[in-house]
Chains A and B, each alone.
Chain A
Amino acid sequence: MSLEFTKSDAFTMGVELELMILSTHDWDLMRGAEDLLALIAKLQHPGDIKPEITESMIEISTSVHRGYHEMLAELVAIRDTVLTQAQRRNLAISGGGAHPFQHWSEQRIFPKERFFHLHEMYGYLAKQFTVFGQHIHIGVTSGDDAVYLAHAMSRYIPHFIALSASSPFSQGIDTAFDSSRLNNINAFPLSGTMPFVRDWAEFNAYFDTMRDLKVVESMKDFYWDIRPKPEFGTIEIRVCDTPLTVAKAATLGAYAQALARHIMIDRPHEPSIDLYRVYGFNRFTACRYGLQGGFIDAYSRERRGLKEDIAATLDAVAPHFRELGSGEALAAIVASLETGQNDSGWLRENFRKHGALSDVVRLQSQLWAQP
């Protein structure tokens, strides 16, 4: 039995965001997902709002979009729905890849069969998985395209890590990483990257072997940085921290969309196993140093700054941004390259200014709510 790849329109996109539910008393994470979802269930709202593994998380996802503006508008509407209901319960909501000072041991698994199963299987890792990411889906027309795009896109994974990074603090300390969140994901046995398969048939052969060996039951068991999502007909980029604003989330979605269009139409590089030889290094550097990190280009074998590599990529991708009507997203990325500041920089700056991590959380929840 093989995985059927659902065909979808090329370069459509959608994003999922995992959000924090916070107490307005001490700005720690707050168990409130169940109650909040019960309130939201009674309402008409765009997109989808779902539980996540622990009770202090909630996941929002958009429907399928072609345009950046429509996606941003939907994200704003979903954000406002969640926010209004949260305020009825005196809860705050925020973005950010990790809660700065929560203790994972105090988290509680959301009462749903799959989550209890994960907790049983992974033990404390499941609770340490109380980190918050953005997943970006890009539509592809076939399984072969999905495999091609997933490999080619892996060259650019450090871009997404550094641009989205918003988890400098974890368990009450400054981790020195811009994205500490990805370190939590590395612990899972099926994290990392997709094996170097050439097409959908090879992918299916791999998947069947893993299933016969009882290593996995479904695609959900792979925690790869990029994975094909056959039921949606997309590839899913999973390395981004949830940004501090929905605008940033839409920008990252638009970047992935334009980049995918560039890759599939201009075909700048053929996928190569060499990509995965430098992958771990590039990924680490982006997590650790963010936009100030270095980057090794697997094709030219040159070493340069990550910022320069993003800038060069943006030059090549710019026509696709324009074609897709997301020039504003391009401008936003260019602006953050100029300042060299990502969300982690913002969080650190506010910690320096106010002196307490609880202040940082309060301010990030205010930023999230800003119209």
Chain B
Amino acid sequence: MDDVSFLPTFPLAAANMMLVGAVLLCGLAAGQVFVRFLRLPRITGFVAAGLLLGPAVLNLLDQSMLDELSIFVDISLGLILFELGRRLDLQWLTRDRWLLASSVAESLLSFLLVFATLRLFNVGGVYAATAAAIAMATSPAVILMIMHDRRAKGALTERLLALTALNNVFAFLLITLLFGFVHLEYKANWVKAVAHPLYLIFGSIVLGYLAFMIARWLARWLGKREEAQFVMLLGLIVTTVGFAISFKLSVLLALLAFGVFVKNRDRDHSLMAVEFGPGAQFFLVVLFVITGAGLQLSELAVAGAIGAAFVVARAAGKLVGITMFAPLSGLTQEKAVLLTVGMMPMSAIAVVMVQGASALYPEFGARLSAIVLSAVVILELVGPLATQWALTRAGETEATRPAEART
């Protein structure tokens, strides 16, 4: 017998790579099945694939594998939030004041209604508030993916993006502030309760700003070459995600801030509006499969009623907030309703926010996830469908002729 073996040994080397590749291919296949045979959005297929492979059903993707894949989740979310931030045009808010008003109204009302509903179910104050803050945010991943898939373009799509960007900002800020109360709930001292939210908010924004300064400097050096700027931004996004994790800052807030600075502070327009397109698809498919795998059907059994009430309260808050200001923004009531339906998705971001809370106090995280994740299960599956339906109905997607959309 020779010592040197050329045959593979177990556990297999490069198992991680196979895992990522397999996740990608399974997601792709499921997406295809959903589009072709069920006529449902691809995203729902990705999530369903994750759900099937994950701990909830087949357990082929177990929790330890999911933990290994978490780097992909972070990078994907970084990409998405950067893209979302780039869609937040602060000048628009000064030109159409009712846009900001309707955003504040829908965010606030969905917060209040979800909070009140959860209190009715006897959920503790801090838990109810944190869950309600999570309810404010619309999933940018779903919105951007549906937009991309259906080649949606138009007034409603633009508004949907702006409102999504805003309600994510509000949700991040509120959740971060609520961390202070979580600390108090767990008998931490008040210095920690004040300092931690401040560190998270300002630290993340400063990190986003630094990333923006470096991006602008690199863009000037590279010139107006789309491929070069694409790679540069991707590199910076990944690096910023890494820094945010290392410094225990908020990946979500830092990358969102990065995007907002790029859109609003790049005065000489050195940075191009590069599209992430196919490059980002890889990350997005993996993200949705992993999010699906993270779902627990058992949550639905235990907290199904709370989840359903959560979903209804959230929808009601958004509906009232948007329709209230619709006439002032020159939107018809029909468009306002479509906009609300489009804003339903809630997904990976909510899961990550729950995880952020878990990292502080595991017990808090466990109790919070029982409340939030049942709603996420529902909206993860129904949300993409809602957005796709709304954009199609508004006649802004590619596949339909407007004549049909208007009947």
Contact = CB atoms under 8 A, between A and B. Distances in A.
A88 B329 contact: yes
Interface of A: 23-27, 30-32, 34-36, 38-39, 42, 55, 85, 87-91, 106, 108-109, 111, 116, 354-356, 358-359, 362
A355 B402 contact: no
A262 B187 CA distance: 92
Contact of B224 (A26, A89, A90, A354): A354
Given A358-B272, A358-B273, A111 B224 contact: no
B154 A356 contact: no
B42 interface: no
B406 interface: yes
A369 B151 CA distance: 29
7 contacts: A24-B92, A26-B273, A35-B155, A89-B159, A90-B92, A109-B402, A111-B403
Contacts of A358: 272-273
Residue of A30, A32, A35, A356 with most partner-chain B CB within 10 A: A35
A356 B153 contact: no
B330 A42 contact: yes
Nearest first, the 9 A-B pairs at minimum CB distance are: A355-B224, A35-B155, A356-B224, A90-B92, A26-B273, A111-B402, A87-B95, A88-B96, A31-B154
Interface in B261-311: 269, 272-273, 275
A356 B273 CA distance: 11
B89 interface: yes
Q: How large is the interface on B (under 10, 10 to 19, 20 to 34, 35 or more residues)?
A: 20 to 34
Contacts of A359: 224, 269
A24 B86 CA distance: 11
Given A90-B92, A111-B403, A356-B224, A31 B269 contact: no
Contacts of A362: 269
Given A23-B158, A30-B154, A109-B402, 8 more contacts: A34-B155, A35-B155, A35-B156, A55-B402, A85-B330, A88-B96, A111-B402, A359-B224
Contacts of B332: 38
A88 B328 CA distance: 11
B330 A88 contact: yes
B24 to A, nearest CB: 28
Interface of B: 86-87, 89, 92, 95-96, 151, 153-156, 158-159, 162, 223-224, 269, 272-273, 275, 329-330, 332, 395-396, 402-403, 406
Contacts of A34: 155, 395
Given A87-B95, A89-B158, A31 B223 contact: no
Contacts of A91: 155
B272 A356 contact: yes
Dominant SS among interface residues on chain B? loop
A27 B274 CA distance: 12
Contacts of B96: 87-90
Contact of A24 (B89, B155, B275, B396): B89
B155 A32 contact: yes
Contacts of B156: 35
B35 to A, nearest CB: 21
Contacts of B329: 88
A129 B332 CA distance: 31
A90 B272 contact: no
A25 B86 contact: yes
Contact of B223 (A39, A111, A355): A355
Contacts of B151: 106
A28 B153 CA distance: 11
Contacts of B95: 87-88, 90
Contact of B330 (A23, A24, A26, A38): A38
Contacts of A35: 154-156
Contacts of A32: 154-155
B162 A90 contact: yes
B117 to A, nearest CB: 34
A25 B92 CA distance: 11
A25 B275 CA distance: 11
Contact of B89 (A38, A42, A90): A90
A239 B37 CA distance: 51
Contacts of A30: 153-154, 158
Contacts of A24: 89, 92
Contacts of B86: 25
A171 to B, nearest CB: 16
A89 B158 CA distance: 8
Nearest to B269: A359
Contacts of B402: 55, 108-109, 111
A88 B155 CA distance: 10
A98 B153 CA distance: 20
A89 B330 CA distance: 10
Residue of B86, B92, B153, B162 with most partner-chain A CB within 10 A: B153
A101 to B, nearest CB: 11
A27 B329 CA distance: 23
Contacts of B395: 34, 111
B216 to A, nearest CB: 15
B155 A89 contact: yes
B397 to A, nearest CB: 10
Nearest to B97: A88
